[in-house]
Structure 1
Amino acid sequence: MDRSVTSSNGLTIGAPVLIALDWGTSSLRGFLMDSYARILAERSSSHGIQNLPQPGAAGFEAALTGLCGDWLDAHPALPVVAGGMVGSAQGWVEAPYVATPADAMVLANKSTHVIMATGRRVLIAPGVLHDPADGTPDVMRGEEIQIAGAVAENAGWGRNACVAMPGTHSKWVRISDGRITGFTTYMTGELFAVLKTHSLLGRLMPAGVDAKAEDEEEAFAIGLRAAQSAGPGDLPHQLFATRSLGLTKRLPAEALAHYLSGLLIGHELRSGLALLAEMSAGTPLLLIGDPGLCRRYTRGLAAFGITPTAQLGNTAPRGLFQFAAAAGLLPSLSANSSSIKSTP
């Protein structure tokens, strides 16, 4: 039986069984978790892999101990797992991609690890490669952990689902029988940032000036409608409209970024929904990502007549828990994700 402690508000919670790290390019998040995959404590820092306290392996150790050193000291027997860009070629150690189809067990079987100077072992999850014979290769690193968490929370989603993950490099992921069977990446967020910051289009967009709510909504809707009506090869022309709509005063300058956002998101949605249409009828569509960005995608989906089945929060901690269980680091628990509940 698990030991338990009582929190300051009188609730009984399980003893810690895992230290989980969601380690990306720009941030590091740590989670202390109990045997029901509940988060007992969490912390974050800006020490992503591109902003370490010092170069090399020593920098990774310094970032980890700076964030979670007291957890490591207080719980010397707890396993430590990490996912995200920490396992990339630029990370602490490279955890090579595994091929689709992939689930938490595949990730665990192909994981790698590092040994800290203190002797503490950190297990690192690999990314996932989708390389269809009739298409181009695609990769993810970090999203596979979020997918593992989402699948663990709902057995139905594990059987069949499509997961849209808005972001710098948005992913549309196909799930079947609990495994990632394929996915497509869209550089929507990065394109938006590059065009706004480093192209002619951004010169009419005033910095630090917010559009009126009605102007923002209208500009976003105009961008969506342009994407919906686009023909083959229309995107470069439609992008230039970001400038011409401003020059002709058809849209206020502060709303031009929202037109650009609607246009790029609209093109992504048009393609992503075509992928969803290839799946079986009634396939759930899930959104995972930043809440504000997911709300924008929900608005975009509404223009296409689609309502997402669910919008999920941060599923990475639960995914890291499933990864640890599949790796046998939580021996008192089943490695079957569907049998590990988030509440007792």
Structure 2
Amino acid sequence: MTGRTTEQHMEHGKQGDAALIALDWGTTSLRAYLFDAAGKVLDTRVSTAGIMNLPVPAEEGGFDAAFEEACGMWLAAAPSLPVLAAGMVGSAQGWVQAPYVETPAGEDALVAGIVKVRAASGANIAVVPGVLEPGALPNVMRGEETQIFGALGAQEERETALIGLPGTHAKWVVVEGARIARFYTFMTGEVYAALKAHTILGRTMKHPAAPDTAAFLRGVMVAREHGSAGLLATAFSTRTLGLTDQLAADEQPDYLSGLVIGHELAGLEAVLARRDVALAACAPQLIGADALCERYRLALAQFGCTAAQIVREATERGLWRIAVRAGLVGAAV
């Protein structure tokens, strides 16, 4: 399957002002940014050529082909542009493996762990490593670390920060002293999709015409108030409430979404409490798709956490910050 690249915008300046190419290269997509010397995005290109969806197999030059398709026009105009990449492109299945750095991990550790790969075009790509939290139950991230440092922005002076990244594998990250101290991964999105598509719960569901916030919040509250036995116990209520005419078929998908997110937040609340931190007293920063982050913001409010904020352009800011720290570009004046 061929990765198709499309130009998104060229709003902030001219390509002749370009200073950096930065890539957010994940499993299913590639997003390329062209920055000017002030750290502003000049142009963006998006491709479906994630590492598992290259134009041709990796052993036949798939990474080179995807890179050329996304960035060839920019490099043709300015062949000496530095290139930085983050995400699954640095995994064992990526273009080059950038080994994890261990927590606590700051920007300097990420820069020290950068691994370079040379493209067929001659461009040298600096690949950002992921982060490993070692232990009896190790935890890893790759790509999120860049977004986290982008979200910190002017918040570095804060002693601690709680950052949430909703998605297929949701992550909650505790930052201390501008370093990733520890983090928790919840397979919320993947479990929701599996329950909906591959269990009996999906048999009675009907896709709603529009998101049902009331049904979603009902699920969140069930997880919070009746979830002590865990998701394996409460998930079946999606079916039984339907069978007893207490939950309409088109309410069930949002109810189940609320359940799984509610259990995630209950788990987060519990692990924070072990360190004498109250979730309700936190002001989390949320990174991700606006609609999903808004769902999390509503769900967090049910746990008494009303100060959550959605952070936008965290990826762009994080890529630029790491590029500056790595000396690929000068700091914006």
TM over 0.5: yes
Could you tell me which runs of 5 or more consecutive residues in structure 1 were left unpaired when the two chains were aligned.
1-7, 334-339
The 3 A distance-change label for structure 1 pair 222 and 271 is same
Provide the residue aligned with 1:247 in structure 2.
Answer: 243
Distance 2:231 2:277 in 1: 30
Distance 2:276 2:303 in 1: 17
Q: Deviations over 1:42-83 (max 9, x none)?
A: 110111111110001511111111111110111111100100
Aligned residues: 320
Give the number of the structure with larger relative contact order, counting CA–CA contacts within 8 Å between residues 6 or more apart.
Answer: 1
Distance 1:49 1:119 in 2: 20
Contact 2:157 2:177 in 1 (8 A): no
C-alpha displacement of 1:36: 2.3
Q: Does 1:320 align with 2:319?
A: yes
How much identity, in percent, do the aligned residues show? 46
The 3 A distance-change label for structure 1 pair 325 and 14 is farther
C-alpha displacement of 1:212: 6.0
Contact 1:289 1:314 in 2 (8 A): no
Distance 2:265 2:12 in 1: 46
Could you tell me which runs of 5 or more consecutive residues in structure 2 were left unpaired when the two chains were aligned.
1-9
C-alpha displacement of 1:14: 9.2
Distance 2:127 2:134 in 1: 22
The 3 A distance-change label for structure 1 pair 35 and 100 is same
- The secondary structure found in structure 2 opposite 1:253 is coil
C-alpha displacement of 1:9: 8.3
Contact 2:14 2:42 in 1 (8 A): no
Contact 1:162 1:276 in 2 (8 A): no
Provide the residue aligned with 2:190 in structure 1.
Answer: 190
- The secondary structure found in structure 2 opposite 1:254 is coil
Distance 1:231 1:31 in 2: 43
Provide the residue aligned with 2:64 in structure 1.
Answer: 61
Q: Does 1:73 align with 2:71?
A: no
Q: Does 1:152 align with 2:148?
A: no
Q: TM-score, normalised by structure 1?
A: 0.87
Q: TM-score, normalised by structure 2?
A: 0.90
Letter of the 1:290 partner, please give it. Answer: A
Matches within 5 A, 1:202-213: 202-206=202-206, 209-211=207-209
Provide the residue aligned with 2:180 in structure 1.
Answer: 180
Higher mean displacement: 239-248 or 139-148: 239-248
Matches within 5 A, 1:99-138: 99-132=102-135, 135-138=136-139
Distance 2:114 2:13 in 1: 35
Provide the residue aligned with 1:40 in structure 2.
Answer: 42
- The secondary structure found in structure 2 opposite 1:129 is strand
Provide the residue aligned with 2:310 in structure 1.
Answer: 311
Provide the residue aligned with 2:87 in structure 1.
Answer: 84
Coordinate RMSD, CA, aligned: 2.2
C-alpha displacement of 1:318: 1.3
The 3 A distance-change label for structure 1 pair 144 and 219 is same
Higher mean displacement: 321-330 or 160-169: 321-330
Provide the residue aligned with 1:273 in structure 2.
Answer: 269
Name which of 217, 234, 238 aligns with 2:234. 238
The 3 A distance-change label for structure 1 pair 31 and 267 is same
Letter of the 2:148 partner, please give it. Answer: I
Distance 1:136 1:322 in 2: 30
The 3 A distance-change label for structure 1 pair 237 and 284 is closer
Higher mean displacement: 54-63 or 286-295: 54-63
Provide the residue aligned with 2:25 in structure 1.
Answer: 23
Distance 2:229 2:325 in 1: 45
Contact 2:220 2:261 in 1 (8 A): yes
Matches within 5 A, 1:220-231: 220-230=216-226
Distance 2:325 2:155 in 1: 17
The 3 A distance-change label for structure 1 pair 11 and 50 is closer
- The secondary structure found in structure 1 opposite 2:132 is strand
Distance 1:244 1:290 in 2: 31
Letter of the 1:105 partner, please give it. Answer: D
